[in-house]
A and B are shown apart, each in its own frame.
Chain A
Amino acid sequence: MYIGVDLGSRTVKMAVWDGKRLVDYKIVESGFEPHRQAEKMIAGLKATTVVATGYGRHLASEYFADHVITEIKAHGLGVYHQFPGCTTIVDVGGQDSKVIALNARGKVSNFQMNDKCAAGTGRFLEIMAGSLAYSLDEFGQAALLADQEVQINSMCTVFAESEVISMKNRGAPRDHIARAVHSSVVDRLSGMLARLGYGEEIAFSGGVARNPCIVHMLQKKLPEARLVVPELPDIIGALGAALHGAEI
């Protein structure tokens, strides 16, 4: 049994790989001490190796993990396993977004991450949903169904939020603003993809891949590529970590 844990900023994910199949997985909130959450998740499981990835990976290795890999490598491994032949990954998590290029052997050949600010991340969507009084699920749905959008100019989370507030106060419909917020994230992601270059197939991993509006808009922006979303986009990193455990 090989366990991968992905200690992210918002959630901790665990995947259990038995050498052939994914036999179990879990997702919990990170809480204040993500490594304790992770420890609880794997308690009682018999593992040959535990590999940690994500922001809390080094802390995890102080406490329980046998090995550490970065989330870049972990997503590479996870996607290569699910979509062999796919050479481009977009991963949008809680606090960052990245695009990763893989070579034909599935190894990372290049990558880019968003800079310091939160624009284009799950956190950005969450803050914007909050200021429009949507739950996260409703937010993506509403944006998808909206028939129009207004224009958000600001990429910075703080400025975008004040822009959203002034739009609200000018009476712009909520779903139009929601759509605009999604649009700005998609612009950011497609910009990163254009910079790095992408293949025919692009895998979309991370929690934000469950947002139907982002997926739809991103696919529309990239007509020459096929966007594929794994069944469990949140756990691709954890799966990659578990697969790494089986490799070594």
Chain B
Amino acid sequence: MTFEIKPYPELWQSLDMDVERFDKARLMLGEAYEKTYLSQQNRPGAMAYFDNMIAEIHGGRIKELMAAKAEGRPVIGTFCVYIPEEIVLAAGGICVGLCGGSQGSVPDAEKTLPRNICPMVKSAFGFKAGRICPYFQAVDFVYGETTCDAKKKTWEILDKMVPTYVMEIPQCKNPRDIALWNEEVKAFKAKVEEVAGKTISESDLAWAIKTMNNKRRALQRLNSLRHHKPCPISGKDGLLIEQIAFYDEPIRFTEKVNELCDELEGRIKVGEAVPTKNATRVMIAGTPMALPNWKIHNLVEGAGAVIVNEESCIGTRYFKDLIDESVSTMNEMLAALTDRYKEIDCSCFTPNNERLNQVVKEFRDSQAHGVINYSLQFCHTYNIEEIRIREACEKEGIPYMFIESDYSPEDIGQLQTRIEAFLEQIRD
């Protein structure tokens, strides 16, 4: 089977993209996907849907976005799991995660942005600057936030290319911070309503909360199946689904994840394992891995181990908490929503002690043998919080390794040695 990411040159043209260049990027991504994903042995059959989501990443899904726009439904780009998707959904809109995980767009960003900032910010910015991401071209506007410095200052520059609004996310979680946050959620709702030309009713929001909760429940279910020993699905596939969660249609996605989970439950019954029954189990903690950043998973699973959990925004931070569905007035629902979002334990907050316990908890739940803490280069908050995560793991006697890396391939050899040595250390 040869895998191809389907080309849609006319669609791209209509989105004012750099078609020639993008077509090359498409071929490279297709090759990387085939090598990374389709070479895996014994993949669950239900992964076919997600393979197709990648094949259609630059076409099929974009057409759906354009069709929604034609109906007057807004398409909103976001960069952070603190932006409440429920509100977009309630207004009939679509929310897409625009985080960048590719080295390919970094040089475009470095024409403008400083080089020594987070590669995720550079990659995303570069996609817009180089006109090489159809999602970025399709969004009506971008909703950024004030989490880290790299992002909040980049919004000011990005705004020149695409309308960029900013939600103020506080840095602490005191009552007055939560009050401010709640105000920001309301302002977000007003903005979305304005663009959608529609007032969100209580039943709209209740429906959206339920829909998103169901999506999160499906991802929780998948995650707990990955915790099974032996593991029924590779970490690469697990990560892929968590990445696709940020651009797929939520109801369909939920169904497909549940179908996959049914299959995995069948596998567990007969003891089917990926890659082998007694593979070393690794848990990842740290910064998000945006599409197509599969670097660490590739190395770890290439060395014969399996990744069983991602304590990350493209991972458990996105789906571990649900919104209370028992309230029904608008104000109560918005408060419940704020309440849920404040449970997210990003290192941009101080203090962030909850995360230390969460890492240890996920280590235990996932029956992992060790933790690899991963931070993108120049991400100060995760890099510094590393110290406390390390201390927490050491205290619990958890084998631990820290990796700081970006998207470039130059450190692959060294990372391979470090990862293999870490696995030896666990096994010996």
Contact = CB atoms under 8 A, between A and B. Distances in A.
A43 B21 CA distance: 50
Contacts of A108: 421, 424-425, 428
Contacts of A69: 424
Interface stretch (B32-40, B188-196, B340-348, B409-417): B409-417
A73 B417 contact: no
Contacts of A55: 413, 417
A72 B417 contact: yes
A70 B424 contact: yes
A70 B410 contact: no
A111 B413 CA distance: 17
A113 B417 contact: yes
B337 to A, nearest CB: 41
Given A115-B404, A116-B410, A116-B411, A107 B417 contact: no
B277 interface: no
B411 A70 contact: no
Interface string A43-73: 0000000000001000000000000011111
B304 to A, nearest CB: 11
Interface string A106-131: 01111101011000000000000000
B420 interface: yes
Contacts of A96: 414
A47 B21 CA distance: 54
B378 to A, nearest CB: 13
Please classify the interface of chain B as helix (H, G, I), strand (E, B), loop, or mixed, using the class held by over half of its residues: helix
Contact of B417 (A71, A109, A110): A71
A73 B424 contact: yes
Contact of B420 (A70, A109, A115): A70
B390 to A, nearest CB: 10
Given A70-B420, A115-B404, A109 B425 contact: yes
Contacts of B425: 72-73, 107-111
B418 interface: yes
A72 B410 contact: no
B428 A70 contact: no
A6 to B, nearest CB: 13
A140 B48 CA distance: 61
Given A116-B410, A116-B414, A111 B428 contact: no
Contacts of A71: 417, 421
Nearest to A106: B428
Contacts of A107: 425, 428
A73 B404 contact: no
Contacts of B421: 70-73, 108, 111
Interface string B386-428: 0000000000000000001000001101100110110011001
Contacts of A113: 414, 417-418
B289 to A, nearest CB: 19
A116 B414 CA distance: 8
Interface centre among B404, B410, B421, by most chain A C-beta atoms within 10 angstroms, is B421
A72 B427 CA distance: 14
A41 B414 CA distance: 26
A97 to B, nearest CB: 11
Nearest to A68: B420
A110 B197 CA distance: 58
Contacts of B404: 115
A113 to B, nearest CB: 6
Contacts of A73: 421, 424-425, 428
Nearest to A109: B425
A108 B417 CA distance: 14
A69 B303 CA distance: 11
Nearest to A100: B421
Interface in B39-61: none
Contact of B424 (A72, A115, A116): A72
Contacts of A72: 417-418, 421, 424-425
A96 B411 CA distance: 12
Contacts of A109: 425
Contacts of B424: 69-70, 72-73, 108
A55 B418 CA distance: 11
Interface in B107-127: none
Contacts of B428: 73, 107-108
16 contacts: A55-B417, A70-B417, A70-B420, A71-B417, A72-B424, A73-B421, A73-B425, A73-B428, A107-B428, A108-B428, A109-B425, A111-B421, A111-B425, A113-B414, A113-B417, A116-B410
Given A108-B425, A113-B417, 12 more contacts: A55-B417, A70-B420, A70-B421, A71-B421, A72-B417, A73-B421, A73-B424, A73-B425, A107-B425, A108-B424, A108-B428, A116-B411
